[in-house]
Structure 1
Amino acid sequence: MKVVFIGASSLATATAERLLKEGHEVIIIDNDKTVIDELMERLDCVFIHGNGSKPAILKETDPTSIDVLFCLTKSDEANIIASLVARSLGVKRVITRIEDHEFEHICVELGLNDTIVPTLTNARYLANIAAGRNILELSAAIRGNVRLFSFIADEAEEGTVDDLDLPKHTRAIFFYRDNSYHTADRDTELKKGDEVVLVTTSGEYEQLHDKWSNGKAR
């Protein structure tokens, strides 16, 4: 597997180190030459010095051959732009890190469905620990070829969940309306602007991505 990181953050380097031990190909892009020089002594991978949101820099990685690209710089805006550029160049899967959770809805609208918000995730986890709650981790619940997919409903999706004509093994499990959580079943009425979350398989995920690649139906 070929994995590229934009931004040599501590999260990026720790993940890269694990992937290298498992025998995967890793490329790290960063615009700080000093950081790259230091990491070259620790990590046996390819380094590219430059701005990872620039098409010319990303083209050096042969984008269409990348299996996963992580955008992990310290700037939410830079990560979003880099993600969009990477997707336009044919990268198969892009993971976007954001710190400001207000960008999360925007990422979904842009079709950046693989978005992580580390601060918010850690805060929820620590709050649950403090409260003594035994919360089932998503990583333990999602196994094998099971995937989650979300999209923003447009006029075309207004109607019932059953009207979405989802693939055989895909189900709508819940949705957000005005940032409020609601469960979903076949008769649930959807409105424009609802963020709908689906549980699906790896095979059907691609069908969903093709249909809602920009966060809206085509």
Structure 2
Amino acid sequence: MRIVFIGAGELTVEAATLLIGRGHEVIIIESDEERIKELSDSLDCSFLHGDGSKPNILDEAGPEHADFLFCLTENDQYNIIAALVGRSLGYGQVVVQIRDTDYLNICQELGLEHSITPSRTISRYLADMVSGVDILELSSLIKCEARFMMISVDKQTRGRVEELELPAEARVIGIYRAGQFMHADPETTLKINDEALILTHSKHLPELTERFQAEASEGHDLEEKK
């Protein structure tokens, strides 16, 4: 897979190192030329010098061949603009880093569903640790080809779980509703704004991702036409 990063901070470097080690193609867009020179000797990847929020720079990274665009600079507004430009150019999955949680609702309204907030993630991990739950230990239980994915339920996907007609090796195992987790079975009814947690074989991830993204897009188009 091809993964494009905007910003060459510590998070980018650590993630890029892991991805390169797993055989993925990585491109890092960075406006600081000295930072690029500093990393060139240690990271076996491609670098683009320029403003990652500019269409011409993002287009140069090849959105038609990219599976992910990670916007990971220290500036929330910059990340949001870069994410919107990247999405308009056709990048597959666009992930935006948000440090100020006040922007999270804005990201949702703009359709930037894949937002990460480092401080919130770490604080939840610490709180879970105090409660005796080790999230890192739990993540190690998802081995081999097992994968989790989350979908947001809308008008296209609401209804009984069994009506989703998932592949044989995929199951909705739970839902989040109004901040509460609930176990799910085939008869469970999914409501708009629920988040459904799916456990699936990794081979189904591309088709499921494409399917639910397409359904979300179709639902959005229908809303705009009304």
Does the 8 A contact of 2:80 with 2:107 survive in 1?
no
Bigger Cα displacement from structure 2, 153-162 vs 97-106? 97-106
Structure 1 residues 35 and 191, CA, compared in 2 at 3 Å: closer, same or farther? same
2:222 aligns with none
- Structure 2 residue runs of 5 or longer lacking an equivalent are 219-226
Q: Spell out the pairing of 1:93-104 with structure 2 (5 A cutoff).
A: 93-100=93-100, 103=104
**1:161 and 2:161 matched:** yes
> Which whole-Å CA distance do the structure 2 matches of 1:200 and 1:189 have between them?
20
**1:125 and 2:125 matched:** yes
* SS of match in other structure, 1:86: helix
Q: Spell out the pairing of 1:1-218 with structure 2 (5 A cutoff).
A: 1-20=1-20, 24-40=24-40, 42-100=42-100, 103=104, 106=107, 110=111, 112-113=113-114, 115-135=115-135, 137-213=137-213, 216=216, 218=218
Q: CA deviation at 1:133?
A: 4.1
Q: CA deviation at 1:61?
A: 1.5
Does the 8 A contact of 2:175 with 2:182 survive in 1?
yes
Structure 1 residues 100 and 143, CA, compared in 2 at 3 Å: closer, same or farther? farther
Q: CA deviation at 1:198?
A: 1.5
2:224 aligns with none
Ranked by relative contact order (alpha carbons within 8 Å, sequence separation 6 or more), the top structure is 1
For the aligned residue pairs, the C-alpha RMSD in angstroms reads 3.3
Q: CA deviation at 1:10?
A: 0.9
Letter in 2 for 1:125: Y
Structure 1 residues 196 and 10, CA, compared in 2 at 3 Å: closer, same or farther? same
Q: TM-score, normalised by structure 1?
A: 0.78
> Which whole-Å CA distance do the structure 2 matches of 1:142 and 1:108 have between them?
32
Runs of 4+ in structure 1 displaced over 6 angstroms?
none
- Structure 1 residue runs of 5 or longer lacking an equivalent are none
Q: CA deviation at 1:50?
A: 2.0
Q: CA deviation at 1:200?
A: 1.9
Structure 1 residues 215 and 151, CA, compared in 2 at 3 Å: closer, same or farther? farther
When the two structures are aligned, how many residues end up with a matched partner? 217
Q: TM-score, normalised by structure 2?
A: 0.75
